[in-house]
Amino acid sequence: MKALFWPVCCAGLLSLCSCGPRVARVESVDIVPRPVTVEASDGAFDLTRSTKICLLSDDTMLLRSADFFNGLLQPSLGRALKVETGACADSDAIRVELGDLAPEAYEISIRPEGVRIVGGSPAGVYYAFQTIRQLLPEPVLRGEKAGVVELPVVEIADQPYFAYRGGMLDVGRHFFSVDDVKEFIDILAMHKINRFHWHLTQDQGWRIEIKKYPELTRVGAFRDRCDLDPAAPNDSVPYGGFYTQDEAREIVRYAADRFITVIPEIEFPGHAVAALASYPWLSCTGEQYEVRQTWDIDDRVFCIGRDSTFRFIEGVLEEVVALFPSTYIHIGGDECPTDRWEQCPRCRERMRAEGLTRPRQLQGYATTRIERFLSSHGRRLIGWDEILDSGVSRTAVVMSWRGTEGGIRAARQGNEVVMAPTTHCYFDYYQTADTAGEPLAWGGCLPLEKVYALSPCEGLDSVQRASVLGVQANLWTEYIPDFAQAQYMLLPRLGALAEVGWSPGRKDYAEFLPRLKRLTRFYDACGYVYAKHSLAD
């Protein structure tokens, strides 16, 4: 009996005590995007499974951050840290409270006796935990067992420069599963990006269930084949998919838990072939089209002469605004040829009735009409910079993609702007000039350093600068068939764009690279695929 007692007892004790080694703190404080101030000192706070997270302010959204942090630590510590609300012990605790700071701002104080986090809002607290995540030692990132996790003694004060920091995923050209979309959102969150622009409709696929118009997903969500390279068709099997409304709500919740707003995009009046294939009465000719199987611009667009087109788009947007709480609703507006309108008696009649002299003005007419509809639902219209070409109201937000010129023009006339120029923000472009070993991409060359060089407010005076809401990375997926490749195109360029959006006044590429290299340890820990061209020593 005695011989058995000790081993059994020890095993019992081991399961109670902190198990695993002391894991030394990181050697330097390397955070992306770069915080406003970082003051590091010697010493460490010893985080163990007995450390508590104390939420001192009464806001249930603070629990999201505690859960997030616990999710990171649990594999190493073997259990979640206890979360308490209200009073807190003076030591061995992570004290979290809301304070008088800008909404997304935060302060972190790590001292040997404990950690204190103050956020301007729960979002600020979440960003503080994202920053502390980057202070975790590598064995913890990998989920290796730890009894004591050292956090370095440091004081950090931080807040973003731009209120809008976005990432766009095109799910029209290629479809990505709900799990992929969640992982995309996780990647955005890691970079303190706060808008997920979900590009939901395209010529090649309509991806969101609309109850009033079921053919959109029965017909429009599938195409007969999917050519990665139109010059060498390689895939002759049907392809498609869509998100149910329940799944869309799940994504919205998932993003909201990470302080990310989902901005849905419903393309109008161009990039509409999947919709027209579903409902032929939406086009100028009423012909039956197939969902498009190859890329590029198509001149088959919504008929602006038909009132039924507006009943349709309003019916769609009614369901979209019910699903997505975002103030901004993106209506596309890019690359819409006018050829069909010029031939169409209904469109010509619309021009006559509205006193329009150029077919392009039909787009302005349609955009204004949709903007009125969205405002009646308390929402703001956002569109690609082509919406400027046919007259746009002051309240529309312009997403500048054909360079920054559209954004500059818009800001000068008082419209709010998101800068997402092809020159710096198109992550479907190659990351290196030597494309031999690269997966097929759209073209262009956008290396990391060029992304980092974006200066979103260049050419604007101080008043006009206030109209620039922020920046966005765009991931078009013509040549991105799966999520591993999406990660490869996104990372680490998203790290550079995150810094453009968060800390543009503190950019220094040489100083950025070592911090970015440290961030790639997190990519490794999460199993993300990323490009290494700019990371070699």
Give me the residues paired with residue 118 across strands.
97, 107
Q: Which residue has the CB atom at the shortest distance from ligand ACM?
A: 334
Q: DSSP 3-state helix, strand, coil percentages of the chain (rounded to 5)?
A: 35, 20, 45
Tell me which of ligand ACM, Zn ion, none is bound by residue 184, counting a contact when its beta carbon lies within the kind-specific cut-off of 5 to 8 angstroms: none
CA dihedral 374, 375, 380, 381 (to 10 degrees): 50
Residue 161 vs 328, nearer CB to ligand ACM: 328
Tell me which of Zn ion, ligand ACM, none is bound by residue 334, counting a contact when its beta carbon lies within the kind-specific cut-off of 5 to 8 angstroms: ligand ACM
Quickly tell me which residue has 């038909």 as its tokens.
Answer: 306
Give me the residues paired with residue 201 across strands.
206
Quickly tell me which residue has 């955009």 as its tokens.
Answer: 367
Q: Is 483 in the site for ligand ACM (CB under 6 A)?
A: no
Which residue from 103, 67, 66 is spatially nearest to 88, judged by alpha carbons? 66
Q: Is 389 in the site for ligand ACM (CB under 6 A)?
A: no
Tell the burial category of 14 from Cβ atoms under 10 Å away from its Cβ (0-12, 13-18, 19+): exposed
Rounded to an integer, what distance in angstroms lies between the CA atom of residue 468 and that of residue 163? 9
Q: Is 170 in the site for ligand ACM (CB under 6 A)?
A: no
Q: Is 303 in the site for Zn ion (CB under 5 A)?
A: yes
AA letter at 360: R
Tell me which of ligand ACM, Zn ion, none is bound by residue 384, counting a contact when its beta carbon lies within the kind-specific cut-off of 5 to 8 angstroms: ligand ACM
Q: Is 254 in the site for ligand ACM (CB under 6 A)?
A: no
In this structure, how many other beta carbons lie within 10 angstroms of the beta carbon of residue 246?
A: 11
Where in 348-389 does DSSP place strands (E)?
A: 380-384
Task: Pick the piece of the chain touching Zn ion (CB under 5 A) from 45-53, 337-345, 370-378, 398-406.
Answer: 337-345
Between residue 314 and residue 343, which ones bind ligand ACM under the rule CB under 6 A? 334-335
Residue 156 vs 473, nearer CB to ligand ACM: 473
Tell me which of ligand ACM, Zn ion, none is bound by residue 335, counting a contact when its beta carbon lies within the kind-specific cut-off of 5 to 8 angstroms: ligand ACM
Q: Is 186 in the site for ligand ACM (CB under 6 A)?
A: no
Residue 344 vs 419, nearer CB to ligand ACM: 419
How many residues belong to the site for ligand ACM (CB under 6 A)? 4
Work out the angle at residue 290's Cα, subtended by the Cα atoms of residues 441 and 296, and round it to the nearest 5 degrees: 30
Q: Is 269 in the site for Zn ion (CB under 5 A)?
A: no
Q: 162 near 465, Cβ under 8 Å?
A: no
Please pick, from the candidates 45, 164, 384, 488, the single residue that binds ligand ACM as defined by CB under 6 A: 384
Shortest Cβ 337–Zn ion spacing (Å): 12
Which residue from 291, 332, 302 is spatially nearest to 204, judged by alpha carbons? 291
Shortest Cβ 394–ligand ACM spacing (Å): 22
Tell the burial category of 28 from Cβ atoms under 10 Å away from its Cβ (0-12, 13-18, 19+): exposed
Q: Is 401 in the site for ligand ACM (CB under 6 A)?
A: yes
- The catalytic position among 183, 265, 267, 335 is 335
Tell me which of Zn ion, ligand ACM, none is bound by residue 93, counting a contact when its beta carbon lies within the kind-specific cut-off of 5 to 8 angstroms: none
Shortest Cβ 335–ligand ACM spacing (Å): 5
Q: Is 335 a catalytic residue?
A: yes
Shortest Cβ 337–ligand ACM spacing (Å): 13
Rounded to an integer, what distance in angstroms lies between the CA atom of residue 454 and that of residue 411? 17
CA distances 496 to 192, 375, 447, 484, Å, are: 12, 35, 10, 20
Shortest Cβ 359–Zn ion spacing (Å): 10
Q: Is 428 in the site for ligand ACM (CB under 6 A)?
A: no
Between residue 22 and residue 41, which ones bind ligand ACM under the rule CB under 6 A? none
Residue 33 vs 305, nearer CB to Zn ion: 305
Q: Is 305 in the site for Zn ion (CB under 5 A)?
A: yes
| 3-state secondary structure (DSSP) of residue 263 | strand
The residue count for the chain: 537
Q: At what angle do helices 509-526 and 178-190 cross, to 10 degrees?
A: 140
Tell me which of Zn ion, ligand ACM, none is bound by residue 284, counting a contact when its beta carbon lies within the kind-specific cut-off of 5 to 8 angstroms: Zn ion
55 phi and psi angles, rounded to 5 deg: -95, 110
**Residues designated catalytic:** 335
Which residues lie near Zn ion (CB under 5 A)? Answer: 284, 303, 305, 344, 346-347
Which residues lie near ligand ACM (CB under 6 A)? Answer: 334-335, 384, 401
